Structure 1
Amino acid sequence: MTLYDETNINIIKDDLRYLKLLSTKYPTISSASAEIINLQAILNLPKGTEHFISDIHGEYESFTHMLKNASGVIKRKLDDIFGTSLMEKDKASLATLIYYPEEKLELLKEEDIDLNEWYKVTLYRLIQVCKSVSSKYTRSKVRKALPSDFAYIIEELLNEQADRINKQEYYTGIINTIIDIGCANSFIIALSKVIQRLAVDRLHIVGDIYDRGPGAEIIMDALMDHHSIDIQWGNHDILWMGAASGSKACIANVLRICLRYANLTTVEDGYGINLLPLASFAMETYTDDPCNSFIPKTLDKVLNDNDKALFAKMHKAISIIQFKLEGQKILRHPEFHMDYMLLLDKIDFEKGTVVVNGKEYKLNDTNFPTIDPSDPFKLTQQEEAVINKLRNSFINSERLQKHIRFLYSKGSLYLVYNSNLLFHGCIPLADDGSFKTLEIEGKNFSGKSLLDVFERYAREAYFYKNDLAVKNYAMDIMWYLWCGPYSPLFGKERITTFERYFIDEKETHKENRNTYYKLRDEEELSNKIFAEFNLDPENSHIINGHIPVKTKDGESPIKANGKLLVIDGGFCRAYQPETGIAGYTLIYNSYGFLLSSHEPFESTKKAIEEEKDILSSTVILEHAATRKRVEDTDIGAEIKNQINDLKKLLVAYRKGLIDERDGG
């Protein structure tokens, strides 16, 4: 901006009220000038590293390790720094120390080594790594990441320069003193955590934190401690969000899935949900019923026969309650077009059959003691009492509500970030490949506007208090987002839960995917989606998860000539036999994109004791000849706006439109 251009002077006069407010923070020409210089320097720093993870599904051990090793970023950093000067086993040992400093230092007590010498060598190595990962950031940002107890000392060591001979003894003295006064362990832990924090500038969780695995609540605690994060809601997340909002249908689905995988740890221990009412009801109602279709999938978990029988009965009891609640919802909302799920009224109780899509099938289970053929979707008094007690437990769980509020504060249905479009499932398409139009409360929505209106309802479901009818409708939309035919999170034409439990013929189990999944290999679709979200097709990518990539069958996570990247490769153990790997993650650094595929993670114990990292294969998707700078990012655009405002403030000072103030 030319400082004395008359047109700009008029613009400055129009902005004078805002500039006066800005002048309270920068009261002099010197202070405003200094900030412009600082911000301009930040624009020239390398772009921060972004880390993308999807479909965690409660697998907290592998997720925690992935968070600590930043999908191989730290290991690659060690290779860059030490090259062949360190043996592979020494680099593996240093990496494990960075990931698990407390645990590794505890094991060190059992080793017969010269501890002081080990401390000295290790501290020098950690300082080198810390220097490298902090080099992308301003001193101010690094300072904020440092633990208060050691901030000054770490900052001094990070700014050591090899050619400053006069200070060599000063730095050596710091290291020796740290060891001599018994602070080496605390200092190593502090350095390791700083390295972990600075290795990744931004974490993106592209949906499905919840269900199947045993530790979603542990994952949520870790995410709440992360310094920079966003979350794109997955269908399983939205289900828990609906349950925490008070939706009985969502609650029934949550518990059915937990019982299906014999995973009550999160529900009972993590969130303190009382399942005794459901257990008592199930034992009383299905006493002599073996509930064969409802025996849980235990994977590597061992259940005794009594627990297995109890879980199966509880599983069946909550499933029947779910089918009734869903039936009531579908009858209440014909605009959802989900009549295909109304099957309780299609049962012939005498013949033991059910009609699906006009065809009669034999049921593999005909014991329905709580279903009234004359009113099949009505809950019994006992079922009503059970679901009401469960609802009270969900809405009164302090830890669950804290986690769900965090999902709302850091989450959304989609995110545009640094020219990339992140969403969990799909953009719903009609059969002809056009954006599917849905009518909601008398208005039509499609593409971006459909996702926007769904997100508004998702927020109303949890936060709206003034009108119960508005809240209930929003909660019904939350359930639709879980399993509706044009939900961007579900991404299938129909859900066949009843059929999978009660009908053996697999033809009834089929859940056809939305047209999006048929067309996402084509670059044309990605370009159309970019246009819908006002993104440049030449510089943008779609990043999503939801449907596991069947790597063992030769499927690639790279679609549409590299414009669409799928990073669900089977984090969840239940999917790994189908996918052949244990997930994809994505790194976007200043040079481009790196896609990593991961082998199954054995255990945290083995990672620490045997220094076993997750085995990963990394593919460089894009490598820029010129590094991206902060100025090329969304944060860069914000900084440029700040610089422009500060330049206006300088003109206002120099033209006498605003008076400089005394710095005090």
Structure 2
Amino acid sequence: MAVSRPAITIKTGSIQKKSGTSMPSKNQEKYYRLLKEAYPSREKVLTEIINLSAICELPKATEHFMSDVHGEYRGFDSVLRRASGGIKEKLRERFPSLSFWEVEQISAMISYPEETLSSQEAELSAEAFEDWGRQMLQHLLRATYMAGEKYSRSKLRKALPEQFSYILEELLTELESTGDRHDYFQAIVNKLQELDQLKPLLIALSDSIRRLSIDQLHIVGDIYDRGPYPDKIIDELIAFPSVDIQWGNHDIAWMAIMAGSKLAMVNVIRISARYGNLEVLENSYGVNLRPLMDYSSRYYRDAEKFAPRLPKDTAMSGQEKSLLNRLQQATAMLQFKLESQLIHRRPDFKMAGRDLLYFIDIEKGLVELNGRDYPLHDFQAPTIDWNRPNRLTAEEESLLDLLMENFLASVKLRKHVDFLLEKGGMYLKYNGNLLIHGCLPLEEDGSYKAFELEGKSYAGKSLLDFFDGQVRLSMQYPETTDDLATDLMWYLWTGESSSLFGKEAMTTFERYYIEDKATHHEKKNPYYQLRENRKIIEKILADFGLDPEKGHLINGHTPVHEKDGENPIKAEGKMIVIDGGFSKPYQAVTGRAGYTLLCNSWGLQLAVHNKPEGELDQTLGMITVKRLVDKVDRRQRVKDTTIGQQLLEEIKDLEYLYANYEKY
């Protein structure tokens, strides 16, 4: 729960003894002098102590977890607008006298106000629409009370639309009034209708209810790739009041471009071509791909394995499909060349077995893989010098330089990556839970798998902390393209000890060029079997400083094959995997349209989203079923949360200042 308070930039910790028997250090004295400036009277300190203490006793507000949205903006937006069905569920719980269809209509109004208003205005007479609008206003005012009951009056006030804040405060105060006060209420509503402001007010009020319904939004990785609108998702996240992000492997690939990685750049273009999503690069981010398209068309011919994977309803000409086919091939070969160069300069990465260009017998058309030869299928490599397979031609060097200049010049992409860097991390400890996109690499016996680099070893929490620091370091120097930090961004995409990848090897080459499907298999880290074991998860939670009895580990990354009987709730409820198929290509194996997780003052609920038959209706949306994951014995308060612990520390500091105000 976010609270408004004065900004103090220097803080050295709370003073535990307030009797004056312990002398604060010089830094602490400086902090208390700054704190006193923020509260220029003893009475103001007292007021803030009372305010924060009262906030700590409010019920914990709702957290909302989403993962692996993969550019599917429509599904993401639909689920977020409904708070994973939480708004509708709360309306039914709090207002049992409302009919099923009344709840449906109020819920639709809150989630899609403009569309609902247009629909009602088209269906009803002018007089009936006015009556409907007045009734809807009262429903929304009551829903605002409902959504705001876990917040202080100050925060509720700030959530109301600024242009209507005074009017709404009056309406909320007089909603249940009678007699003369009721006439006062009706006079406000009459004037709103007379001035044609009731519709804007209803829209603004609906927006506020949605904002109040989710206090903290967690995105557990993979905003990018596959779907067409990752940029729209990030724009919406930027506008969201309180959000955090745990980087996914696909997010890291896009971030790596802005760190100067040409290898990540061609990989991102290849994936965008594979799923027919070049528009996000060209139109949304303003990257000119024409020189690369010309290069691809000149050197490559269509190949079956490179046919783009498009949604069934995609209208695309044969010429456009051919372009995507050839673009994939060109970027794949550039990727293999650049990856080979990285493997040679980073022997510590232990990826020599993936340097497949050096295992090809081009005359026989074979590639050696794990000691066995496999025929190459439809393998085209028109620009490779087989005496030095990973060498780029002069044309390719120039082309990649030009593409990188284009990416780095994208103001919008820079803004989005900066946002991911500011709000993101490799993991997050929040309210007793651990959020990680992928995994903690493990050995078969459950011990942490070590990553050895330059004579140092990293495993478990230290591994994730190391990767987090290197990501931030790489972003500081985009002009360097082959430094260790930037190369580690690629390792996070495909390395055996990467917590974001979690497999022995990425078999992109095999899936394109080898017919034997046994070679396509990507063996997962033992973590993905061991995470079914409660003791393993509890050990991980404890190693991150969390209570293993109360905490949970929340993952994304690997789609849950619920269609085949897999359960997203694992390790006796200690582990929850919430990658349930937002990405359309995965829905055939998951059998779902996504999972999300809700955590409120009473516990955890998994929301399972299923698409209705036919097209997604915005006013009805996805069908959501809730599953209880964990229920607490005692309703959680703000003081039990991560932010609550910070508030309690601030209260201690304020209490010390209150007792010693004249000293500073």
TM-score tier, shorter chain, comes to over 0.9
1:296 aligns with 2:308: yes
Q: Amino acid of the residue matched to residue 663 of structure 2?
A: L
Report SS of the residue matched to 1:449.
helix
1:601: how far off? 6.7
Partner of residue 185 from structure 1, selected from 182, 194, 199? 199
Q: Is contact 2:348–2:454 with CA below 8 Å preserved after alignment?
A: no
Give the whole-Å Cα distance in 2 for the aligned partners of 1:183 and 1:277: 52
Q: Which structure 2 segments of 5+ residues have no match?
A: 1-14
Hey, what's the Cα distance between the residues in 1 that align with 2:18 and 2:457? 50
Match among 202, 226, 232 for residue 218 of structure 1: 232
Aligned-pair RMSD on alpha carbons?
Answer: 1.9
In structure 1, C-alpha distance between the alignment counterparts of 2:197 and 2:307, rounded to whole Å: 54
Give 1:11 deviation, angstroms.
4.7
- CA distance in 2 between partners of 1:404 and 1:647 (Å): 41
Bigger drift between 441-450 and 506-515 goes to 441-450
- Note if 1:396 corresponds to 2:409: yes
Q: Does 1:74 align with 2:87?
A: yes
Q: For 1:212-291, list aligned pairs within 5 A.
A: 212-286=226-300, 289-291=301-303
- Distance in 2 (alpha carbons) for counterparts of 1:57 and 1:497: 19
Query: Partner of 1:504 in structure 2?
Result: 515
Q: Distance in 2 between matches of 1:218 and 1:488?
A: 27
Aligned residues: 647
Q: Which residue of 1 aligns with 2:181?
A: 167
Question: What code does the residue aligned with 1:557 have?
Answer: P
**C-alpha separation in 1, matches of 2:425 and 2:493:** 15
| Alignment counterpart, residue 17 of structure 1, candidates 24, 30, 48 | 30
- TM-superposed deviation, 1:154: 1.2
The letter of the residue matching 1:266 is V
How many angstroms does 1:440 deviate by?
2.2
Which of 461, 469, 480 is the equivalent residue of 2:474?
461
What amino acid is the match of 1:508?
Answer: T
Partner of 2:484: 473
| CA 81–178 in structure 1, closer or farther in 2 if over 3 Å, else same | farther
* Distance across 2 between alignment mates of 1:382 and 1:215: 32
Q: 648, 651, 657: which one pairs with 2:656?
A: 648
One-letter code aligned to 1:103: E
Among residues 533, 537, 540, which one is paired with 2:544 in the alignment?
533
TM-superposition CA deviations, 1:624-649 (whole Å, max 9, x none): 34311101111111111111111111
Q: Which residue of 2 aligns with 1:626?
A: 634
Q: CA deviation at 1:165?
A: 5.3
Determine if contact 2:18/2:655 at 8 Å carries over to the other structure: no
**1:575 is paired with a residue of what secondary structure?**
helix
Q: Secondary structure of 1:243's match?
A: helix
Q: Quote how far apart the aligned CAs of 1:160 are.
A: 3.6
Residues 148, 212 of structure 2: 8 Å contact kept: yes
1:362 pairs, out of 358, 361, 375, with: 375
Shift of 1:22: 1.2
- Decide whether aligned partners of structure 1 residues 27 and 337 sit closer, same or farther in structure 2, where only a CA change above 3 A counts: same
Aligned-pair distance for 1:488? 0.2
Q: What's the offset of the Cα at 1:392?
A: 1.2
**2:274–2:328 CA contact under 8 A, matched in 1:** yes
Quote the residue 1:95 is aligned against: 107
Q: Using the alignment, how far apart are the partners of 1:366 and 1:384 within structure 2? A: 22
Helix, strand or coil at the partner of 1:109: helix
Deviations 1:395-434 (A, max 9, x none): 1111111100000000001000011100100011123321
| Amino acid of the structure 2 residue aligned with 1:428 | P
Pick closer, same or farther for the CA change 1:12–1:331 going to 2, 3 Å.
closer
Hey, what does 1:662 align to over in structure 2? none
One-letter amino acid matched to 2:568: P
Per-residue Cα deviation, 1:220-270 (whole angstroms, up to 9, x for no partner):
100000000000000000000001222011001101111111121211111
Corresponding position of 1:130? 144
Deviations 1:551-579 (CA, angstroms, capped at 9, x unpaired): 01111011111111100011100000011
Q: State the match for 1:639 in structure 2.
A: 647
Deviation at 1:439, TM superposition (A): 1.8
Q: 1: distance between equivalents of 2:83 and 2:172?
A: 21
Cα distance, 1:486 vs. partner? Answer: 0.6
Change (3 A) 1:193 1:327: same
Name the CA distance, whole Å, in 1 between partners of 2:39 and 2:152.
20
Are 1:589 and 2:600 matched, yes or no? yes
Alignment of 1:504-523 (within 5 A): 504-523=515-534
Decide which of 445, 452, 460 is 2:458's aligned counterpart.
445
Which has the larger displacement, 472-481 or 166-175?
A: 166-175
Structure 2 residue 121 is matched with structure 1 residue 109: yes
Q: Distance in 2 between matches of 1:481 and 1:70?
A: 32
CA offset digits 1:51-90 (Å, max 9, x no partner): 000000000000011111110111112212322x332222
Give the deviation of 1:443 after TM superposition: 1.7
Contact 2:175 2:185 in 1 (8 A): no
The answer to whether the 8 A contact 1:12-1:652 is kept is no
1:482 aligns with 2:493: yes
The aligned amino acid for 1:298 is L
| 1:590 maps to amino acid | S
Instruction: Kindly state the Cα deviation for residue 602 of structure 1 after the two structures are TM-superposed.
Output: 7.5
Distance in 1, Cα, partners of 2:158 & 2:414 = 29
**Counterpart in the other structure of 2:6:** none
> Which residue does 1:353 correspond to in 2?
366
Residues 21, 290 of structure 1: CA spacing in aligned structure 2 closer, same or farther, 3 A cutoff? closer
* Equivalent residues of 2:16, 2:652 under 8 A apart: no
SS in 2 for 1:621: strand
Check conservation: 1:97, 1:104, Cα contact below 8 A.
yes
Q: Is the 8 A contact 1:246 1:394 kept in 2?
A: no
Distance in 2, Cα, partners of 1:533 & 1:511:
28
**Partner Cα distance (2:616, 2:451) in 1:** 50
Question: Does structure 1 conserve the Cα–Cα contact (< 8 Å) formed by 2:260 and 2:480?
Answer: no
* Corresponding position: 1:32 with 2:30: no
The amino acid of 2:527's aligned partner reads Y
Alignment correspondent of 1:145: 159
Q: Secondary structure at the match of 2:84?
A: helix
Q: Matches of 1:368 and 1:2 in 2, distance apart?
A: 69
Deviation digits for residues 432-452 of structure 1 (CA, Å, limit 9, x no counterpart): 321111122332111111111
Question: Corresponding residue for 1:661?
Answer: none
2:379 corresponds to 1:371:
no
The counterpart of 2:325, out of the listed 307, 312, 317, is: 312
Alpha-carbon distance change, 99 to 132 in structure 1, aligned in 2, over 3 angstroms: same
SS of the aligned residue for 2:82 comes to: helix
Aligned 8 A contact 1:215 1:265 in 2: no
Q: Which letter maps to 1:474? A: A
1:197-224 residue CA offsets vs partner (Å, 9 max, x unmatched): 0000000000000000000001010000
Shift of 1:511: 0.6
**Once structures 1 and 2 are overlaid, which stretch shifts more, 18-27 or 53-62?**
18-27
- Native 8 Å contact 1:344 1:377 kept in 2: yes
Residue 613 of structure 1 and its aligned partner are, at CA, apart by: 2.1
Distance, in Å, in 1 between the alignment partners of 2:16 and 2:503 is: 56
TM-score when scaled to structure 1?
0.94
Please say if residues 71 and 233 of structure 2, whose CA atoms lie closer than 8 Å, have aligned partners that are also in contact.
Answer: yes
Structure 1: which amino acid aligns with 2:507?
A: T
Amino acid at match of 2:396: E
Report the AA paired with residue 491 of structure 1.
G
Question: How far is the alpha carbon of 1:161 from its aligned partner?
Answer: 6.3
CA distance in 2 between partners of 1:14 and 1:355 (Å): 64
Partner Cα distance (1:457, 1:62) in 2: 33
Q: Residues 5 and 398 (structure 1 numbering): CA distance in 2 closer, same or farther, change over 3 Å?
A: closer
